[in-house]
Structure 1
Amino acid sequence: MGAGIRSGKAGIGAAAVATALLAGACGSPGTAADGGKDAPVKVGLVYSKSGPLAAYGKQYIEGFRAGLDVATNGTGKVGSRKVEVTEVDDAGDPAKAVSGAKDLIGKGYKVIAGSTASGVATQVSAIAEQNKVLFVSGPAATDALTGAGKFTFRSGRQTWQDIATAATFAGDVKGRKVVVFAQDGAFGQANLAAVKTVLGGKGATVEPLMVPASATDLTPFATKAKAAKPDMLFVAWAGATAQAMWGALGQQGVFDVTKVVTGLDTSATWPAYGKVAGKVTFLNHYFGGAAGTALEKQMTERVTKAGSKPEIFTPDGFTAAQMIVHAAAAGGDAAAMAKALEGWSFDGVKGRLTVRAGDHALLQPMYQAKLSEGAAPAASVVKTLPADQVAPPAAGK
């Protein structure tokens, strides 16, 4: 996979319709009884248990379970209130996510979390805002969630932070040429837009080299990438053709003429880089062992005990549990929970995290990483970038 998380392919066009239907079907959630002081904290996780992003969904839910155990000191309770978690599989389909969220909110759930795909997250956010329930998105990276509303938060990073990390590789980009080599789809277009905003805003000339998602012969596109003579080739790629793509870039000598930058994805993709692994410069949200924090150790112990291992989006689930437990301590009212999160700074798996009060961006460290070559590649941190260095601009500014 290329830089950043893969964005969902669906847009937000149906959000307004779904929201209107929900408002009509459920009435005003604000009138629902919150229950007594011992009423359970009902959390609905609408995420990709199946579908194209199922691997990411698995990482998220494993992290959430570990985070809930740590955040509640093994009790599964916030004070005297039991945390009741209901999982709903959206399969990466916005329509299924909308249906699942509608059902949960109709049953009185005041906390929804888990969106794995960006196209899903934007629609669930709209529903949460209309119905005044807390929404903590998961791995979905779309920048559109930052500043989306009073009740929308995120437990992962956003695309801007990915690109800002990439910018640290380039130094002064004024007057330099950056080519975005990406599949022509939602994921590629989102990364192109972010590169134009971040690097273009610093004076770089940004050009797209978009490849049809159906393309299997990638040599002609690798040839074009070399011929473009960029100062940086920013690769945003996902899916089964990744190995062929990297092979084509290597065969055409692209690494001999330019710096190639991309995002380091889940470890299952690392062997795809083959012989070019050591020639790629990686930005990174997280990989197992990257942080070296006490909470990372606790998360790793729990995930390992459950038969898995930490991956790129395991911290997103862990952080979501931390945020929900903290919010729920403020009571059952969504407005109170949202207020409790705004401006909250806390220790997370990656280090110190802050929920920016004005727009709910999650400020966090990011990583420059490298990958060893060979049949079993290993990742290591080149540099940890502090949260303020990669912080997105305030939404709306």
Structure 2
Amino acid sequence: MRNGAVTSLSGIQENFGKAVPKGLQGRHGLSDREHGRIDGRKVEILEADDGSNPAQAASGATALPSQGAKILAGPISTGIGLHVADHPGNDALLLLSAGGDDFTGMSPNVFRTIWQTVQTNKAILATVPETAGKTILVSTQDTTFGTASVTGLSSAFGAVGATVESVVAPAAANDLIPFAQRAADATPTSCTSRGSVPTPRRSGRRRLLRESPKSRSFAVCTTASARKSSIAPRRAKSARSSFRSSSP
């Protein structure tokens, strides 16, 4: 039995993408006492590096089924995943860990394995009491998922009288301190980070909080590759000011 992983083993999302084949291999290793087997059948994981590039991902999604892969996991990016799912050369079962709403009903062989963006928006909305007049800041990347996140949150919170602002970093940005500083200076009621981005070095986080007294009224949130973390000053008024969400 052969399955495949089309994911970012290189490129701007490689830290997050490398977790996909590791997860598949780990799960198969635990499925039976005999490593790499399910119900006595040997399972082989084939990998294709999408390079964080839609065209390269589509090529990999076509190549792996021709090598016998029946199920493909990935890509982890909404924009790249949409390109692969819509590619006519791909007839394998596609399991996506991306949260874009456009995957719903896209094809009989396309499945989203996590929540979708609209679900997260409603969950965040439910945690903010007396929403009218509040300001919600979205910190995200210049990607398909990031754009959809800002649009979705603007619709959800705008309907109940709140204002949504955004701080958008380039998809390839590694130094997020300037963007976190902009979020701190904006002094919103709440802040949510959407996407899979490298977490700033801890020393940088501490410097930001020390040099930005305005940030003490709320939590600055960042999302790291394959894990989630929030930066909250000790004097933050409420834990409700911090929301975390991860999936590009």
Q: Give your verdict on TM over 0.5.
A: yes
Cα deviation code 1:51-85 (max 9, x no counterpart): 22222123222222221233345464444543222
User: Match of 1:49, SS?
Assistant: coil
* 1:135 equivalent among 80, 88, 94: 94
Q: Which has the higher contact order (CA 8 A, sep 6+)?
A: 1
Instruction: Pick closer, same or farther for the CA change 1:53–1:188 going to 2, 3 Å.
Output: same
User: Match of 1:144, SS?
Assistant: helix
Tell whether the 8 Å contact from 2:194 to 2:244 is kept in structure 1 after alignment. no
Q: 1:167: how far off?
A: 2.7
* 1-structure distance, mates of 2:143, 2:95: 26
Instruction: Pick closer, same or farther for the CA change 1:181–1:135 going to 2, 3 Å.
Output: closer
Q: Which amino acid aligns with 2:26?
A: A
Aligned to 1:225: 186
Cα deviation code 1:299-344 (max 9, x no counterpart): xxxxxxxxxxxxx89xxxxxxxxxxxxxxxxxxxxxxxxxxxxxxx
Tell whether the 8 Å contact from 2:139 to 2:167 is kept in structure 1 after alignment. yes
* 1-structure distance, mates of 2:28, 2:44: 11
Q: Which amino acid aligns with 1:102?
A: T
Matched, 1:84 2:41: no
* 1:200 equivalent among 135, 158, 161: 158
Instruction: Pick closer, same or farther for the CA change 1:58–1:235 going to 2, 3 Å.
Output: closer
Aligned to 1:65: 25
Instruction: Pick closer, same or farther for the CA change 1:131–1:117 going to 2, 3 Å.
Output: closer
User: Match of 1:195, SS?
Assistant: helix
Q: Which amino acid aligns with 1:98?
A: A
Matched, 1:265 2:221: no
Matched, 1:179 2:140: no
User: Match of 2:224, SS?
Assistant: coil
Tell whether the 8 Å contact from 1:264 to 1:283 is kept in structure 2 after alignment. no
Query: In the comparison of the two structures, how many residue pairs are matched?
Result: 239
Aligned to 2:2: 42
User: Match of 2:233, SS?
Assistant: helix
Cα deviation code 1:171-224 (max 9, x no counterpart): 342343323344555454232123123333444232335467779756983575
Tell whether the 8 Å contact from 1:181 to 1:225 is kept in structure 2 after alignment. no
TM-score by structure 2 length?
0.73
Tell whether the 8 Å contact from 2:199 to 2:225 is kept in structure 1 after alignment. no
* 1-structure distance, mates of 2:119, 2:7: 22
> What are the ranges of 5 or more consecutive residues in structure 2 without an aligned counterpart?
none
User: Match of 1:127, SS?
Assistant: coil
* 1-structure distance, mates of 2:201, 2:154: 23
Tell whether the 8 Å contact from 1:47 to 1:114 is kept in structure 2 after alignment. yes
Written as runs of structure 1 = structure 2, the 5 A alignment for 1:1-397 is: 41-72=1-32, 74=34, 76-79=36-39, 81-127=41-87, 131-138=90-97, 140-186=98-144, 188-210=146-168, 221-222=182-183, 225-226=186-187, 230-236=188-194, 238-239=197-198, 247-248=207-208, 251-257=211-217, 259-260=218-219, 262=221, 264-266=223-225, 273=231, 276=233, 279=236, 281-284=241-244
* 2-structure distance, mates of 1:183, 1:107: 35
Tell whether the 8 Å contact from 2:198 to 2:224 is kept in structure 1 after alignment. no
Instruction: Pick closer, same or farther for the CA change 1:183–1:50 going to 2, 3 Å.
Output: closer
Tell whether the 8 Å contact from 1:250 to 1:276 is kept in structure 2 after alignment. no
Tell whether the 8 Å contact from 1:134 to 1:151 is kept in structure 2 after alignment. yes
* 1-structure distance, mates of 2:199, 2:7: 22
Q: 1:93: how far off?
A: 1.6
* 2-structure distance, mates of 1:48, 1:219: 25
Tell whether the 8 Å contact from 1:263 to 1:282 is kept in structure 2 after alignment. no
> What are the ranges of 5 or more consecutive residues in structure 1 without an aligned counterpart?
1-40, 286-311, 314-397
User: Match of 2:136, SS?
Assistant: strand
Identity, % of aligned positions: 25
User: Match of 1:191, SS?
Assistant: helix
